[in-house]
Amino acid sequence: MKQILQNLKTGETEVVEVPCPSCPPGHLLIRTVCSVVSQGTERMLVEFGKANWLDKARQQPDKVRMVLDKIKTDGLLPTLDAVRHKLDQPLAMGYCNMGVVMEVGAGVTGFAVGDRVASNGKHAQVVAVPKQLCAKVPDGVSDEAAAFTVLAAIALQGVRLVQPTLGEAVVVTGLGLIGLLTVQLLRAHGCRVLGIDLDPAKLELAKRFGAETVDLSRGEDPLAAASRFSRGRGVDAVVIAASTTSNEPVHQAALMCRKRGRLVLVGVVGLELSRADFYEKELTFQVSCSYGPGRYDPSYEEGGHDYPIGFVRWTEQRNFEAVLDMMADGRLDIAPLITHRFDLSCAQDAYRLLTAGGSLGIVLHYPGPDEQSNDSLQTRYVRLADRLPHAAQPRDRVTLGFVGAGNYASQILIPSFKGTSAVLKTVISAKGVSGVHAGKKHGFEETGTETHSVFADPEIDTVVIATRHESHARYVCQALRAGKHVFVEKPLAITSEELADIETVYREVNAGDAGALLLMVGFNRRFAPHVQKMKALLSSVQGPKTFVMTVNAGAIPLDHWTQDPAVGGGRIIGEACHFIDLERFLVGAPIESVQVMAQGRRGQGPTADQVTMTLRFADGSMGTIHYLSNGHKSFPKERLEVFCAGRILQLDNYRSLRGYGWPGFKRMSLWRQDKGQAACAAAFVEAVRRGQPAPIPFDELVEVTKTTFDIVAALT
């Protein structure tokens, strides 16, 4: 299928062949009929992409601060690599989609194959959308009109926050698509509306919808007009739907309002507010959040947990339904808003028009079922490169299948394996876009969206798993049962039951031929050059050692997927395992016991992220890990200190290692941070290729994982 992607580095927009997404539980798979190009969000993204580096920095000063902090901790070169990688990622465009249901995911009710639905799906021939972000289209609503549902819901949410009453005087500043939809919705509420804009064509449309207007291009005074419009009392409310960096729209809106008037920001404007503007009138100011309640709530959108209607009457999905009902009975007129139509194949022309100006509603039309069958659309694989002749391939080659092509996989993990002797055959991503990008960039033969095909492919002998944590154990077991070697990103598992399943399967598939199938976790810090040097130095010291690991982990919101015990396992299981394994490697003796203390309230369990863990090892060594989320970003993220035999080693962020009291060793420094990812991948591939034991013994993987479970249990 074809999808519109944008390059944030250059601003170029292209139509790309990508595999059809799968239909996860709780989702609908939809064949797109038409979609609408957003005049606000998408134009802003295109203009950002076309800007030079300096202008990009000026537009996102908060990101610049993050970059400067990263330079302090990780160094200049890794930071530049991270920035380039971020800008190199293709961005899937669009969020205003209308189509026909092709497949209904498990657990979805109220929808059936063949239903016409509006959703926030991307500009793609096929989209997979959570059920909460879809709404059935009434028979009386045209396909093109239904494609405006999401934009209309954004306008409706702004109007709901205004809480208009019959007969009130309301100003709408900015008469783009959302502004003109807002005018119609306010009129439907029985309000008198005054529209303000610079574009005479948009002002004429506002008049057509029943608004009075102020033409800024002719020098008309909006404050005087608002005073006349409100009979000298001040308007009841202002909806700001403009897009500008200026603070003037908010200042002007405050001056227009009556005492205790309401201001709602739907657009994007400068927000350097004047206290005097709001103080004397006791004005209310609120920023509207997109389509309505539920937006950006993973539990609602991805988890499918609806808000009870008795407590939240208007969710984003119910806002979709409301605007579709208004389209059906004629209170919301979409046809005058459409100025241009393009076929999907001409999408680049549409985006050139978008940035040139002079357009309003741009509708993209997609090939119908008579032009392309559902079967061809649902192709889950895309060929990226021709394979080498078999004669040119060594017998002991390692052929990889990658499951997962997210940020870490595409930036770190895939390049690390690309630098080995392994052949990169297949990369899988859930939605297809990241897989296509990673596949083309790193030379995979093919990309797809169906995970099981990697396990079934007889040419693939090794699987790399880089998905979300809750799927790791399941995929590990599937791969081992399929006779594949496995490299899995940490953690190995997030529950004791999952770990037990892995132990059972691992021992079953290797019964009678120990080590035949390798299982490796990406505990890369063992392989970092500085850590290898520390291991060599410590091997000359007899007796127990003391380790102090300080991890300046940084704060992560509680609603982030890594904090969800059922998805990410929490930060101890999901990340602190790295540091437990690091100390286990340097000590070279089993962990006998663990003691835990957490800052703040008790019973935090997996969500605890200000924790001190003390490990006791069988040789008498002691390791302390301070895993803290309440530090400053400019401080090194990881610092390890080792005390033994009157000597000290201090490692800072895998860039600098200092020795105190070590004969013949004082310092080891690198130009750039090296956490050992490349060496970790190389060691694993070589072990597979040569039929050697795994670089990390299986029993140590299990030991470290069980230790994380013990720590979480102590925090519960």
Q: Band the pLDDT of 392: cuts 50, 70, 90.
A: very low
The torsion angles phi and psi of 298, rounded to 5 degrees, stand at -60, -35
d(C-alpha 587, C-alpha 622), whole Å: 9
Residues in CB range of 50: below 8 A, 6 or more apart:
10, 11, 355
Q: pLDDT at residue 420 above 80? A: yes
- Segment among 88-97, 182-191, 482-491 with least mean pLDDT: 88-97
Q: Domain of 357: which CATH number?
A: 3.90.180.10
User: What does the pLDDT average to over 150-157?
Assistant: 97
Q: Band the pLDDT of 377: cuts 50, 70, 90.
A: low
- Segment among 89-93, 266-270, 405-409, 586-590 with least mean pLDDT: 89-93
140 & 201 share domain: no
Q: pLDDT at residue 61 above 80? A: no
Domain-ending residue, one of 248, 267, 287:
287
133 & 251 share domain: no
Confidence (pLDDT) at 384: 82
Q: pLDDT at residue 380 above 80? A: no
Angle at 715 between CA 709 and CA 716, to 5 degrees: 90
Angle at 486 between CA 482 and CA 488, to 5 degrees: 130
Domain-ending residue, one of 287, 308, 326:
287
d(C-alpha 663, C-alpha 655), whole Å: 21
| Domain count of the fold of the chain | 4
Q: Domain of 201: which CATH number?
A: 3.40.50.720
Number of H helices, E strands in the chain: 26, 31
- CB count, 10 Å around CB of 340? 16
CA atoms within 13 A on the CB side of 311: 4
Q: Domain of 617: which CATH number?
A: 3.30.360.10
Q: pLDDT at residue 389 above 70? A: no
> pLDDT (tens digit, 9 = 90+) per residue, 642-693?
999 999 999 999 999 999 999 999 999 998 899 999 999 999 999 999 999 9
Pick the closest to residue 417 from 514, 485, 482, 473 (CA basis).
485
Query: Length of the chain in residues, anyone?
Result: 716
Instruction: Give a yes or no: residue 424 inside a domain.
Output: yes
Strand partners, 34: 98, 365
604 & 701 share domain: yes
Confidence (pLDDT) at 359: 87
**607 and 563 Cβ atoms separated by less than 8 Å:** yes
Q: How far is CA 277 from the centre of its chain?
A: 38
645 & 586 share domain: yes
Q: Band the pLDDT of 60: cuts 50, 70, 90.
A: low
Tell me the one-letter amino acid at 24: P
**211 and 219 Cβ atoms separated by less than 8 Å:** no
253 & 274 share domain: yes
Residues in CB range of 631: below 8 A, 6 or more apart:
552, 553, 554
48 & 179 share domain: no
d(C-alpha 320, C-alpha 307), whole Å: 15
Instruction: Give a yes or no: residue 312 inside a domain.
Output: no
Instruction: Give a yes or no: residue 300 inside a domain.
Output: no
Kindly report the average pLDDT of the chain as a whole number: 91
Buried b (16+ CB within 10 A) or exposed e, 682-694: bbbbebbbeeeeb
> pLDDT (tens digit, 9 = 90+) per residue, 128-138?
999 999 999 99
Asked if the peptide bond before residue 491 counts as cis, ω within 30 degrees of 0, the response is yes
pTM of the model: 0.85
In DSSP notation, 547-616 reads EEEEEE-----TTSGGG-TTTT--HIIIIIHHHHHHHHHHH-S-EEEEEEEESSSS--GGG--SEEEEEE
Confidence (pLDDT) at 54: 67
**Token output for 624:** 């302390």
Instruction: Give a yes or no: residue 375 inside a domain.
Output: no
Confidence (pLDDT) at 390: 45
Residue 427 structural domain? 396-521
> pLDDT (tens digit, 9 = 90+) per residue, 72-130?
666 666 677 777 666 677 889 999 999 999 999 999 999 999 999 999 999 999 999 99
Indicate the SS3 state at residue 697: coil
Tell me the one-letter amino acid at 630: N
Confidence (pLDDT) at 374: 64
In DSSP notation, 420-467 reads SS-EEEEEE-SSSHHHHHHHHHHT-SEEES-THHHHH-TT--EEEE-S
Q: Band the pLDDT of 179: cuts 50, 70, 90.
A: very high
User: What does the pLDDT average to over 244-262?
Assistant: 94
Distances (CA, A) of 558 to 297, 306, 553, 563, 672: 12, 20, 14, 6, 32
Q: pLDDT at residue 32 above 80? A: yes
Confidence (pLDDT) at 560: 87
Residue carrying structure tokens 């050692």: 545
d(C-alpha 635, C-alpha 327), whole Å: 55
Q: pLDDT at residue 6 above 60? A: yes
- Segment among 31-35, 57-61, 232-236 with least mean pLDDT: 57-61
- Segment among 112-126, 348-362, 411-425 with least mean pLDDT: 348-362
558 & 704 share domain: yes
Q: pLDDT at residue 181 above 50? A: yes
* β-strand pairing of 13-17 with 2-7: antiparallel
411 & 428 share domain: yes
8 & 70 share domain: yes
Give every strand in the sheet of 399-403, ordered side by side. Answer: 381-383, 446-448, 423-428, 399-403, 462-465, 485-488, 519-521
CA atoms within 13 A on the CB side of 552: 16
Instruction: Give a yes or no: residue 656 inside a domain.
Output: yes
176 & 85 share domain: no
Confidence (pLDDT) at 222: 96
**428 and 410 Cβ atoms separated by less than 8 Å:** no
CA atoms within 13 A on the CB side of 241: 31
488 & 543 share domain: no
Q: pLDDT at residue 394 above 60? A: no
Instruction: Give a yes or no: residue 249 inside a domain.
Output: yes
Instruction: Give a yes or no: residue 321 inside a domain.
Output: no
**528 and 654 Cβ atoms separated by less than 8 Å:** yes
Confidence (pLDDT) at 391: 42
Instruction: Give a yes or no: residue 544 inside a domain.
Output: yes
What's the DSSP call for residue 412? Answer: I
> pLDDT (tens digit, 9 = 90+) per residue, 511-538?
865 558 999 999 999 999 999 999 999 9
Strand partners, 127: 30
Confidence (pLDDT) at 74: 66
First to last CA, the chain: 48
Q: pLDDT at residue 363 above 80? A: yes
475 & 580 share domain: no
Q: Band the pLDDT of 539: cuts 50, 70, 90.
A: very high
